[in-house]
């Protein structure tokens, strides 16, 4: 491991530890958290630090503008891990709370994005956060692609390490290009080519087969001369013609489409101008399953259907649950389906990241990780 890690550091007792977590979780209209995956993934690090006698100060964000309160997260956390709450992020009241903490105590600060200095990576704000602690722990892999003060600024002032989940993310995701096992199947879904093209370019070279589904496949259908109707397509993406000729590129061979009159499963050459492609069909799933069964390594990022059309995504998850391969699943939109099917511990390693997972797989590192290198 080229990064400093939680367990590699000794002498936690009595130390003030600033843990950067990612508690940016979806909350419904009634104030109930809809998906606790990222919060739960942080608990082993918090419990480890408590057991070692550290004074734990947790900083996180929720939403983009700082308006949401982390009080709802504190309420959930308290059921599993007793933690106090501060309505402020920095300032005299926070400093006083931290000064009164005993070994094993924990304090959750309010939404860090309420401070303008956070997203601006302001040096003075980073220093103010750092002054609350003796050691910094990054347990926020899912936002480590951001150059924000609590991620890349604070480590400049404190000894810093990876949390247990963050360490696992780096270790597992690195297998996709450092410890490749063949046959290697790479599956790419979703809709945004601007973020996923680097992934495609990298793994079309590394993997034995690359299966492209979701809206990303529509661009390739057009290149091959097929009608895509009203389906989503990225008009700005360039360089796909060369990839389309690669012999290891696989695409759906049948589709689920809908229009104002019907929803039907059809062949690629049967799409009409009023149709919208919403998922792939059973023949495509059967094709994909043949490669899943043969694979010794499978990496998957992005859903295979549009919106609530998750039949193919569900089918693939069940295939992964039966597979004995090394399996790595990108988080983001897929996590909710995995949780719903109760397959979280059956489909291999599930990343907490969305954009961070994509960037790490494409580049091998992230800004908030680079600063923690030995």
| Confidence band of 193 (pLDDT split at 50, 70, 90) | confident
Cα 346 from chain centre: 18
What is the tally of structural domains in the chain?
Answer: 2
Per-residue exposure over 239-261, b if at least 16 CB sit within 10 Å of its own CB, e if not: ebeebbeeeebbbbebbbbbeee
Do 315 and 202 fall within a single domain? yes
Assess contact for 300 and 316: CB atoms under 8 A.
Answer: yes
Do 351 and 291 fall within a single domain? yes
Do 150 and 198 fall within a single domain? no
Nearest to 249 by CA among 322, 173, 161, 186: 186
Q: Determine the pLDDT at residue 224.
A: 96
Q: Determine the pLDDT at residue 334.
A: 82
Mean pLDDT is lowest, of 145-154, 204-213, 230-239, for 230-239
Domain limit, last residue, from 145, 167, 189: 167
Average pLDDT value for residue range 74-82: 96
pLDDT digits (tens, 9 = 90+) for 253-293: 999 999 999 999 999 999 999 999 999 999 999 999 999 99
The set of residues, in sequence order, having a beta carbon less than 8 Å from that of 176 and lying 6+ positions away, is 203, 206, 297, 299, 328, 361
H or E stretch at 340? helix 334-340
Q: How far is CA 268 from CA 55, 210, 227, 260, in A?
A: 59, 19, 8, 19
Residue 370 lies in a domain: no
Other Cβ atoms less than 10 A from the Cβ of 119: the count is 19
Look at residue 331 and tell me whether its pLDDT is greater than 80.
no
d(CA 234, CA 244): 15
Average pLDDT value for residue range 213-234: 96
Residue 100 lies in a domain: yes
d(CA 355, CA 374): 25
Query: Structural domain of residue 203, as residue ranges?
Result: 180-363
Q: Determine the pLDDT at residue 236.
A: 87
Do 116 and 237 fall within a single domain? no
Q: Determine the pLDDT at residue 1.
A: 67
Do 84 and 189 fall within a single domain? no
Per-residue exposure over 71-96, b if at least 16 CB sit within 10 Å of its own CB, e if not: ebbbebbeeebebebbeebbeeebee
Is 7 or 192 the better-scoring residue by pLDDT?
Answer: 7
Do 93 and 118 fall within a single domain? yes
Q: Determine the pLDDT at residue 239.
A: 86
Residue 374 lies in a domain: no
Average pLDDT value for residue range 1-30: 94
pLDDT digits (tens, 9 = 90+) for 81-133: 999 999 999 999 999 999 999 999 999 999 999 999 999 999 999 999 999 99
Residue 33 DSSP class: B
Do 212 and 358 fall within a single domain? yes
Tokens of 235: 């008009």
Average of per-residue pLDDT values in the chain = 95
| Confidence band of 339 (pLDDT split at 50, 70, 90) | confident
Look at residue 357 and tell me whether its pLDDT is greater than 80.
yes
Average pLDDT value for residue range 62-76: 95
Q: Determine the pLDDT at residue 171.
A: 96
Do 196 and 151 fall within a single domain? no
66: CATH: 3.40.50.1260
């Amino acid at each position: 491991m080229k990064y400093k890690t939680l367990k590699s550091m000794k002498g936690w007792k009595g130390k003030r530890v600033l843990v950067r977590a990612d508690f940016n979780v979806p909350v419904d209209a009634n104030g109930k958290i809809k998906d606790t995956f990222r919060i739960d993934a942080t608990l082993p690090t918090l419990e480890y630090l408590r057991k070692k006698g550290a004074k734990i100060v947790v900083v996180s964000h929720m939403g983009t503008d700082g308006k949401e309160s982390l009080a709802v997260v504190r309420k959930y956390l308290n059921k599993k891990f007793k933690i106090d709450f501060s309505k402020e992020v920095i300032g005299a009241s926070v400093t006083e709370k931290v000064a009164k903490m005993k070994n094993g105590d924990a304090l959750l600060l309010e939404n860090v994005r309420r401070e303008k200095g956070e997203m601006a990576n302001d040096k003075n704000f980073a220093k103010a956060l750092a002054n609350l602690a003796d050691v910094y722990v990054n347990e926020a892999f899912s936002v480590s692609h951001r150059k924000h003060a609590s991620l890349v600024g604070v480590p400049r002032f404190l000894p810093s390490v990876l949390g247990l989940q963050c360490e696992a993310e780096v270790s597992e995701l690195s297998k996709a290009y450092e410890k490749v096992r063949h046959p290697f199947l790479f599956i790419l879904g979703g809709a945004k080519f601007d973020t996923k093209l680097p992934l495609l370019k990298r793994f079309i070279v590394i993997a034995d087969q690359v299966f492209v589904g979701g809206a990303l496949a529509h661009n390739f259908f057009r290149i091959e001369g097929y009608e895509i109707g009203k389906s989503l397509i990225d008009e700005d993406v360039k360089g796909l013609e060369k990839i389309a000729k690669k012999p290891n590129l696989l695409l759906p061979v049948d589709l689920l489409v809908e229009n104002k009159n019907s929803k039907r499963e059809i062949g690629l050459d049967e799409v009409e101008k009023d149709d919208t492609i919403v998922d792939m069909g059973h023949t495509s799933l059967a094709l994909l399953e043949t490669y899943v069964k043969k694979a010794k390594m499978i990496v998957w990022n992005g859903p295979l259907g549009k919106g609530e059309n998750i039949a193919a995504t569900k089918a693939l998850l069940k295939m992964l649950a039966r597979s004995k391969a090394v399996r790595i699943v990108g988080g983001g939109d897929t996590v909710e389906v995995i949780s719903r099917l109760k397959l979280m511990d059956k489909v291999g390693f599930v990343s907490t990241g969305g954009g961070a997972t994509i960037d790490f797989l494409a580049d091998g590192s992230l800004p908030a990780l680079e600063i923690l290198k030995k």
